[in-house]
Amino acid sequence: EDKVVQSPLSLVVHEGDTVTLNCSYEVTNFRSLLWYKQEKKAPTFLFMLTSSGIEKKSGRLSSILDKKELFSILNITATQTGDSAVYLCAVLNSNSGYALNFGKGTSLLVTP
Amino acid sequence: GAGVSQTPSNKVTEKGKYVELRCDPISGHTALYWYRQSLGQGPEFLIYFQGTGAADDSGLPNDRFFAVRPEGSVSTLKIQRTERGDSAVYLCASSLAGGSSTDTQYFGPGTRLTVL
């Protein structure tokens, strides 16, 4: 059975800190890994990763995938209170090329 | 253009009642998905539509759950004889084509269903 595990489950940091969120997976016929940010209810898309070693970057957020060790990290530098949210990792496999398999998420709280 | 919209944003019902949840996808997106998210969990896949047809409904938990998309745009998730265990946030997503490793799913704000 496919599995997506995120760590830590929750994290509290001070504004300005750098954080690293982890996502490991066991998926047959891996296709892609996605990161979403969820504030209140709607998950908003951050990154899609399909190839190992290629960093995706957007402002203070970046992410990279390691297909050999089966994990991805999401980095947030110079955190701000607006970064407080649940960060969800999801994996897509070839068997079901559309049904995202999500982890439980990491709840990040950035304090002033 | 507008994102995915869902109505109502909140729905409170009594055990045994029937509910309908509506999803309006991004214009031009042929693929539509329903997920259910319980407290402290990630979203779980329920059903996937490609156009008007349900291409995969394997995530629907039982036959009390049904979804339609009659004109290939708006979709309605229907739950009969609701149970307290159905309480969750129901998320809808849409994507341009579906079934591709580069096809990104965009989510709506969800409907929080509470069954008393």
What confidence tens digit (pLDDT) does each residue in B67-89 have? Answer: 999 998 999 999 999 999 999 99
**What is the three-state SS of B89-108?**
EEEEEEECCCCCCCCCCEEC
Q: Is A64 at the interface with chain B, CB within 8 A?
A: no
Q: B30 at the A interface (CB within 8 A)?
A: no
Asked whether the beta carbons of residue A41 and residue B110 sit closer than 8 angstroms, the reply is yes
Asked whether the predicted pLDDT for residue B100 surpasses 80, the reply is no
Q: Kindly list the residues from chain A whose CB atom is less than 8 angstroms away from the CB atom of residue B11.
A: none
Can you point out the beta strands (E) in chain B? 5-7, 10-13, 19-24, 31-37, 44-50, 53-56, 65-68, 75-79, 88-95, 106-107, 111-115
Residues of A in contact with B5 (CB under 8 A): none
> Is the predicted pLDDT of residue B102 greater than 80, yes or no?
no
List of domains in chain A: 3-111 (2.60.40.10)
B1 confidence band (pLDDT: 50, 70, 90): low
The domains found in chain B, sorted by start residue, are 5-9+16-97 (2.60.40.10)
Position A28 scores a pLDDT of 83
> Tens of pLDDT along A20-76?
999 999 988 888 999 999 998 789 999 999 988 889 999 999 999 998 999 999 999
pLDDT beyond 70 at B60: yes
More confident residue, A93 or A26: A26
Which residues of chain A lie closer than 8 angstroms to B102, CB-CB? 32, 48, 50
Interface test with A, best of B30, B32, B37 (most A CBs within 10 A): B37
pLDDT of residue A9: 96
Confidence of residue A91 (pLDDT cuts 50, 70, 90): very high
Q: Which residues of B51-85 are buried (b: 16+ CB within 10 A; e: fewer)?
A: eeebebeebbeeeebebebeeebebebebeebeee
Does A105 score more than 80 pLDDT? yes
Q: Sort out which chain A residues have CB atoms less than 8 A from B42's CB and list them.
A: 4, 88, 90, 102-105
Kindly state the percentage of chain B with pLDDT values over 70.
96
Could you say which of B43, B102, B106 has the minimum Cβ distance to residue A45? Answer: B106
